[in-house]
């Protein structure tokens, strides 16, 4: 039965971008939603522009075509990127079908995934971040440590692991209150985020314990870095003077370092960094970093 609603009207009201091409890949349909998504006018692309120009590479366009042919002329939910006229890369989910085999070209529905990708990114960020310090959390620490150990093993680089534990933190909470304690945790977060190279990563491991991963770093360089962090912390960690004068509350850092070329179990490296930190604490805390050499 013939619909009395013209096809062009369907395309005009369709909220998803619809793009059809002929057998050479030249665009033959470009609905208003496609114009909005890609910032091209239909007039400018119809009969002139190749679909290949919308993808980041010709290989990607060919891969989509090959996939359609191998999937009996139809693909659904394929995630890729298209490039808008202003150069923006737009994430999309593509459903497409060949029109009567390949001879008449194909038609695709380009669902915009920008919002969903943004949401996924912020959920991922939440799932790996510690709220209070703004550093990565413990779960992510284990994930990254495993990866960095594998990288160190593959390339024979030295991986440094610094374990930091606060000295006297309980007294901050007990005498000045938890809000003042929280401020200290936030300060460490800031300090570690600003004081490290892009390739380094800092994590809140537990209450007042932090870990720093230093890929491709010698123990000597790790020591210099740790000493700088400790001194900055001492200079900036000024507890509320009206209280600290009275109660003489001092908080500082104990640090331990272990270095590895990735040839031991992950837990062993953590244990060595932890032991080095404990040795620093035993010698009074707030001192130069202790180093636990590799067991091999
Ligand atoms: N304010 C605040 N306190 C926390 C948080 N997480 C853990 N703590 C507290 O951190 C303290 C840790 O205790 P301890 O490990 O004995 O700390 P410390 O006084 O530095 O002692 P040493 O580690 O032995 O030097 C406890 O009082 C916890 O309640 C937090 O998110 N905020």
Q: 285: CA distance to ligand 1 center in Å?
A: 15
Q: Pick the catalytic residue: 112, 130, 167, 208?
A: 208
Residue 220 inside a domain? The answer is yes
ipTM of predicted assembly, 2 dp: 0.93
Residue 124 inside a domain? The answer is no
Q: Which atom of ligand 1 is nearest to the CA of 132?
A: 31
Residue 113 inside a domain? The answer is yes
Residue 1 inside a domain? The answer is no
CA atoms within 13 A on the CB side of 134: 11
Residue nearest to atom 27 of ligand 1 (CA): 170
Identify the pLDDT of residue 295: 47
**Is the domain of 38 the same as that of 88?**
yes
**Is the domain of 141 the same as that of 239?**
yes
Token pair for 99: 């029109």
Residues contacting residue 191 through CB under 8 Å, at least 6 positions apart: 229, 232, 233, 236
Query: Looking at 83, 117, 151, which one is the last position of a domain?
Result: 117
Residue 270 inside a domain? The answer is yes
Token pair for 45: 């692309």
209 ligand 1 Cβ < 6 A = no
**Is the domain of 168 the same as that of 270?**
yes
Of 135, 181, 233, the residue with max ligand 1 atoms within 8 A of its CB, to mutate for a pocket test, comes to: 181
Q: 205: CA distance to ligand 1 center in Å?
A: 12
Identify the pLDDT of residue 236: 80
**Is the domain of 280 the same as that of 138?**
yes
**Domain span including residue 231:** 129-292
Q: What percent of the chain has pLDDT over 90?
A: 68
Query: Looking at 79, 96, 117, which one is the last position of a domain?
Result: 117
pLDDT digits (tens, 9 = 90+) for 110-147: 999 999 999 999 999 999 999 999 999 999 999 999 99
Beta carbons of 226 and 165 less than 8 angstroms apart: no
Q: Which atom of ligand 1 is nearest to the CA of 181?
A: 1
Q: Residue 146, Cα to own-chain centre: how many angstroms?
A: 16
Q: Which atom of ligand 1 is nearest to the CA of 281?
A: 25
User: What mean pLDDT is predicted for residues 262-288?
Assistant: 88
d(CA 237, CA 242): 14
Q: Between 216 and 9, whose confidence is greater?
A: 216
pLDDT digits (tens, 9 = 90+) for 141-191: 999 999 999 999 999 999 999 999 999 899 889 988 999 899 999 999 999
Identify the pLDDT of residue 296: 43
How many structural domains compose the chain? Answer: 2
Sign of CA dihedral 271, 273, 279, 285: negative
91 ligand 1 Cβ < 6 A = no
Beta carbons of 168 and 233 less than 8 angstroms apart: no
d(CA 263, CA 150): 8
Which stretch, 3-17, 177-191, 234-248, has highest mean pLDDT? 177-191
CA neighbor of 255 nearest in space, from 158, 188, 156: 188
Beta carbons of 23 and 105 less than 8 angstroms apart: yes
**Is the domain of 101 the same as that of 204?**
no
Identify the pLDDT of residue 293: 62
* Residue 282 pLDDT greater than 50, yes or no: yes
Whether 208 is a known active-site residue: answer yes
pLDDT-based confidence at 244, cuts 50/70/90? Answer: low
- Summary mean pLDDT of the chain: 89
Q: What is the CATH number of the domain that holds 18?
A: 3.30.450.20
């Amino acid at each position: 039965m013939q619909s009395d609603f013209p096809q062009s009207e369907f395309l005009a009201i369709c909220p998803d971008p619809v793009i059809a091409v002929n057998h050479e890949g030249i665009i033959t349909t470009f609905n208003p939603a496609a114009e909005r998504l890609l910032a091209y006018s239909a007039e400018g692309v119809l009969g002139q522009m190749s679909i290949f120009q919308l993808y980041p590479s010709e290989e990607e366009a060919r891969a989509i075509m090959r996939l359609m042919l191998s999937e009996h002329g139809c693909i659904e939910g394929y995630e890729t990127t298209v490039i808008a006229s202003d150069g923006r890369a737009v994430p999309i989910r593509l459903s497409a079908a060949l029109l009567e085999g390949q001879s008449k070209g194909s038609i695709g529905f380009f669902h915009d995934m920008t919002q969903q990708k943004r949401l996924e990114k912020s959920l991922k960020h939440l799932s790996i971040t510690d709220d209070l310090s703004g550093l990565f959390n413990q779960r992510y620490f284990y994930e990254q440590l495993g990866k960095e150990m594998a990288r160190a093993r593959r390339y024979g680089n030295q991986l440094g692991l610094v374990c930091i534990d606060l000295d006297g933190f309980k007294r901050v909470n007990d005498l000045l209150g938890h809000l003042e304690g929280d401020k200290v945790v936030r300060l460490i977060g800031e300090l570690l985020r600003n004081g490290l190279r892009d390739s380094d990563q800092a994590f809140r491991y537990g209450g007042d314990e932090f870990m720093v991963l230093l890929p491709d770093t010698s123990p000597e360089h790790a020591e210099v870095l740790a000493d700088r962090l400790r001194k900055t912390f001492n200079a900036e960690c000024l507890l509320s003077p009206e209280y600290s004068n009275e109660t003489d509350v001092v908080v500082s850092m104990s640090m331990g370092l272990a270095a590895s070329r990735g040839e031991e179990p992950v837990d062993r490296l953590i244990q060595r960094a932890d032991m080095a930190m404990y040795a620093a604490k035993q010698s009074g805390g707030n001192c130069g970093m202790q180093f636990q050499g590799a067991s091999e």
